[in-house]
Amino acid sequence: MSDKDAPSNGPDGASGGTVAAALPDVAIIADEGRLEDRRWQAVFTAVAVAVSLFHLWANLFATLSTLWLAGVHFAGLAFLCALRFPLFHVGSRRGRNAIFALDVVFGVALAVGTIVLIASENAIYARGVHLAPHEWALAFLTIFGAIELTRRTTGWIIPVLILTALTYVTWWGDHIDGVFRFAGLSVETVVFRSIFSDEGMFGMIGRISSSFVFLFILFGAFLVRSGAGEFIIDIARAISGRLTGGPGFIAVIASGLTGTISGSAVANTTSTGVITIPLMKRSGFPPRFAAGVEAASSTGGQLMPPIMGAGAFVMANYTQIPYLDIVAVSFLPAFVYFLSVAFFVRIEAKRHNIVSHDDDAPRVIEVLKKGGPAFLIPICVLIGLLVYGFTPTFAGGWAILAVVVASWLTPNPMGPRAIVEALAMGARNMITTGVLLIAIGLIVNVIAMASIGNTFSLMITQWAGGNLMIAIVLVALASLVLGMGLPVTAAYIVLATLSAPALQILIVNQIVPPEMMRADIVAALAEGTLSEAIKPFFMLADPSVMAKLSAPMPPADAEALWNALPPEVVTQIMAQQRLALPVALTTGALLSAHMIVFWLSQDSNVTPPVCLTAFAAAAIAKTPPMLTGFTAWRLAKGLYLVPILFAYTPFLTGTIPQMLTLFAIATLGVYALGAAIEGHMEAPIPWPLRILLGAAGVALVWPNTPYLEAAGATVVLAIFAFNIRADRRRRAAPARSA
């Protein structure tokens, strides 16, 4: 089959059949009245291909600084974004042409201005960090451009937050009272740091966007263009098409596999949902339930390794924990989530007696022979290189090459035309994410300059009263509110910056309670072995005690000396004591804290009133968007249950036997809770047993309670056995009457 005849994918990954479908930028822009001249279509595609090639060269062969890599990254995507997303929509052809001309000028000016500005870095430092008049103009153009392009791609919420943050540190922060009062910085300082600091637009987050995120999204585009999307659907049909409720399981499996190549829940929904939702509806699933299953499953795609959305790369950078380690510990929790959705599918299928068998479903071995190499070989190359210690960017680059080579083993080999299409698709798919991450750097920079993160973490600790569960609830509420206006990755970045430190402290306190640390310090005082790192805090509170700290003292005196310390000194001593704890303990707590935030930040995909993934599924299923959102929220309960295990158990940090045990307990617990909510297993559950089943489910997911877990498991298994017998009697009754 030639490249021209090879199946390709549309703008959101939906299967198409033409080369035009594989050039989503051209098709979509033409539909919106953009780029009606085919010469501009060619310009857009050529620039998109050039942007992708630049990122491959810069990440695999060059040694560019972070400023230059992120700056050119933004310049290229900014030009594409200006062409792809109009300033505003007008009805007349003449009006569209005028707006398009403005957008072309704006895109070129922003791209060129950004590159000229970052090239002025040395000159700015030579002047003592002072901006020349033309640099002021370029800086404001760059900042304004990032805000404006974010408005075009994500709406008004993020631009308003950015403007609020920038004016806070330059103006109104000095006019408020309380813990968030900020004396303010000069506009020149804020502008300079917004662009040139490590926390700014072209700093840490810009580097993540221009390296890890871009290469993995490009990797996904190559997989999609090679026919992996068709393979995913076929393998899902082969595995579950002949099971009761099979179309629902197809949605769960397909969305989970698509999550390995896509970092977007909405793209996951639109690519697999156009196939799975009609399948579920035809088999007898209610349309709203079908849309909810697809939305909940696609949301889980962002939790599924190895890609896990852009948030996983940000997490690796924030925590300095290797990306491979994050991926490795994420498999079992992701399986728990997908099993929780699959349980709802099974329950719904049994409730409505949906016994639909896909007689046309292909066999697994046939699917693997046909499309397996194009999907499995690149994934194995990617994981293998990560395991051997290569960087994610190096692994991603070679995995892209592996996609091309592996496609030659299939009926759809990728030639030059298909490679160009995949390069263009990758840059197009990166536009919204890249512009967003660069713009979010403006908010992160303000948080760093004003130390808002430390203040917010202290507030969470104070509001929670030292209770980790209350802190998790507060973070969940904050993630829901932020998720109404921010995409998932942006919500994670903001929440991780603000609340992850507080969660880490509370998790450490669960393992090593403050009372234990206090007792250790008092004992060291009495024995005369107090740490040199802690002595200055005692002397800060009372300089006269210096002579006493190096010699033993009666335990009563040591206790009195501790009790005489001011509360703020005690807080600093406890923080210092936590630094002395084993590195594995503190690192595990840090990973758990970020994973909690990462999982909770996904809930905005499926939680009304703003749940874009559920709305996308509703559009396919033709169901009410808000009601579909509530259905998806009900099916995605795993988003709230699994983070509790992160907080209270070694689900991420334990030994393999511990993690497998917790996996089994969590799986049984989410099934019990799902069945109790639905009132159905294999057969309907009477209310008394339903209440008992709910209590058993809570006992199973309640952390660190082995006796309760054993009792809960016994109850759930007993009720399940009783329910199977009830189902058999129910199915046998019509046969006897006949």
- DSSP per position, 181-196: ------HHHHHHHHHH
Query: Which of 346, 330, 399 is CA-nearest to residue 645?
Result: 330
Residues 438, 480: contact at Cβ < 8 Å?
no
Distance CA 442, CA 454 (A): 18
Q: How confident is the model at residue 478 (pLDDT cuts 50, 70, 90)?
A: confident
Average pLDDT of the chain is 85
pLDDT of residue 630: 92
pLDDT of residue 53: 96
Two tokens at 450?
């004003």
Residues 565, 538: contact at Cβ < 8 Å?
yes
Residues 201, 481: contact at Cβ < 8 Å?
no
Alpha-carbon distance values, 344 to 176, 599, 674 (Å): 49, 20, 7
pLDDT digits (tens, 9 = 90+) for 622-673: 999 889 999 999 999 899 999 999 999 999 999 999 999 999 999 999 999 9
Distance CA 639, CA 659 (A): 18
Other beta carbons within 10 Å of 251: 33
Specify the residue for token string 């085919």.
38
Residues 374, 410: contact at Cβ < 8 Å?
yes
pLDDT digits (tens, 9 = 90+) for 151-164: 998 888 889 989 99
Specify the residue for token string 């539909």.
31
Q: How confident is the model at residue 461 (pLDDT cuts 50, 70, 90)?
A: confident
pLDDT above 70: percentage of residues in the chain? 92
Two tokens at 350?
């049994």
Residues 311, 489: contact at Cβ < 8 Å?
yes
Alpha-carbon distance values, 259 to 56, 221, 271, 498, 641 (Å): 22, 13, 11, 27, 21
Mean pLDDT calculated for residue range 88-109:
85
Q: Residue 18 — left, alpha, or beta (φ > 0 → left; ψ -120 to 50 → alpha)?
A: beta
What amino acid occupies position 737?
Answer: S
- Lowest-pLDDT range of 63-72, 229-238, 579-588, 629-638: 229-238
Two tokens at 43?
């310009």
Two tokens at 297?
């499953």
Distance CA 367, CA 167 (A): 57
- Lowest-pLDDT range of 18-27, 182-191, 302-311: 18-27
Distance CA 669, CA 702 (A): 9
3-state class (DSSP) for residue 8: strand
Residues 345, 527: contact at Cβ < 8 Å?
no
Distance CA 442, CA 163 (A): 9
117-148 residues labelled b (16+ CB within 10 A) or e (exposed): bbebeeebeeeeeebeeebeebbebbbebbbb
| Distance spanning both ends of the chain, measured CA to CA | 55
Two tokens at 671?
């099934």
Running DSSP on this structure, what letter comes out for residue 549?
A: T
